[in-house]
Copies of this chain bind each other. A is one copy, B any other.
Amino acid sequence: MPVADIVHLEEFAAAHRLHARDLGVQENAETYGACQNIHGHNYVLEVTVRGEVDARTGMVMNLVDLRSAMREEIVDQVDHRFLNEDVSFLQDLPVITTENLAIAFWSRLAAREAGWGGPKLHRVRLMESQSNIVDYYGE
């Protein structure tokens, strides 16, 4: 069967600040500058799943299932939240950067992968804005 990627995007509005647990005051200030302040974004989460196109359904997987996984595992947890304080699965992160968020989101989606019956999570893209983006491929 041919292999294709399906890509779905969801938005959420959240606040965060960049302040690393393992850095001192001065190093935090030098590293993150104004991003140390509480601020926020309309984040866009884009998830790519790769798999064979089913001959009968014509789909890699049902888009409804991908959307549900994204909403239940991520969007419903982080939308309209202060990521540094309000989200339990993010509390162990040393700092709430876009990189660390993308990796944490991958983990939660990967836990759903087995239920998809074949297709594999290929990429988690997290856009903090249209100009600042992180891609994570699970490696």
Contacts and interface: CB of A to CB of B under 8 A. Distances in A.
Contacts of A136: 2, 4-5
Contacts of A7: 132-135
Q: Is the interface of A mostly helix, strand, loop or mixed?
A: mixed
A72 interface: no
Interface string A75-106: 00001111000100000011111111011000
B42 A41 contact: yes
Contacts of A5: 134-136
Contact of A38 (B37, B82, B128, B139): B82
A69 B96 CA distance: 24
A139 B2 contact: yes
B14 A100 contact: no
A80 B34 contact: yes
Interface in A102-139: 102-103, 128-137, 139
Contact of A8 (B94, B97, B132): B132
A44 to B, nearest CB: 9
B6 A99 contact: yes
Nearest to A64: B33
B57 A129 contact: no
